Amino acid sequence: MDYDDGEQDGRRSLDAADPLPPDDWSGFGRTARAEALYAAQRPLVAGIFRRSVPPQDVGDLVQETFRRVFSAKGQSAGLLDAPAAYVAAAARSILKNRARSAVRNHGAAHHRYEEQEIAGPDPHAALEARDMLRRAEDAVARLSPVTRDIFLMHRFDDLSYAEIAAIKQMSPKRVEKHIAKALVAIRKARDTQP
């Protein structure tokens, strides 16, 4: 196109600094119009995202906005009546979608404190178990020496009543009574609170 002869058909000639009117964009290719729209509107879109998202996400969201604009059906990106408004609306739509998905993901990522991987071992339960063990040890220590030896032989050396009876030279029934006596003493010590 030669604009020097514009005076002959009633149009004035354009200076180099004059922007091209929308009618004159139709002679350019789709790629050139897209590049011009991107160059003109990128600062606006980046500004919208800078206020709402982390800095590392701004570039990706700007690219997503223009991808949506350029792939919209029925729109020729370079011939929009109000390209700034259209691009800003697309950017706000992306922000809304991002907020909705963040709300959904936040609910799925929520963990209760009681869950084992979050809370870890319960310190209160550990203290109670340690205290109960101390009371059981004290109860075993207070047993008579014969009862304590029989109980320890059965529980820790894993000897049967008959084997303990042979070692202690008593009847298996008597061994059973000593073990029952030790178990009652431990149960009482365990159930009493200090």
Entry pTM = 0.41
Segment 97-121 mean pLDDT: 69
Place of tokens 């149009």: 11
What pLDDT does residue 29 have? 63
Give mean pLDDT, residues 125-142. 89
Q: What is the pLDDT of residue 111?
A: 61
Q: Which amino acid type is present at position 157?
A: D
Distance CA(30)–CA(33), nearest Å, equals 5
What are the residue boundaries of the structural domains of the chain, listed by start?
A: 21-109, 122-188
The pLDDT tens digits for 54-104 are 889 899 999 999 888 888 765 555 456 778 888 888 999 999 988 888 877
Tell me the one-letter amino acid at 172.
P
Q: Average pLDDT, stretch 126-142? A: 90
Domain spanning 122-188 has what CATH number? 1.10.10.10
Checking if the pLDDT of 7 tops 50, the result is: no
Q: Which residue has the tokens 């009633």?
A: 10
Helix (H, G, I), strand (E, B) or coil at 53: coil
The C-alpha angle 96, 101, 103, rounded to 5 degrees, equals 95
How many Cβ atoms sit within 10 Å of the Cβ of residue 181?
Answer: 15
The predicted-structure confidence for 135-183, as pLDDT tens digits, reads as follows: 989 999 999 999 999 999 998 888 999 999 999 999 999 999 999 999 9
Rg, the chain, Cα only: 43
Predicted confidence at residue 37, as pLDDT, reads 83
Q: Please, what sign has the CA dihedral across residues 106, 107, 108, 111? A: positive
**The pLDDT value given to residue 142:** 92
Task: Round to whole Å and give the CA distance between 7 and 24.
Answer: 16
Whole-angstrom CA distances from 105 to 100, 102, 108, 110, 143 are: 9, 5, 5, 9, 60
Return the DSSP state at 120.
Answer: -
Q: Compute the distance between CA of residue 122 and CA of residue 140 in angstroms, rounded to an integer.
A: 27
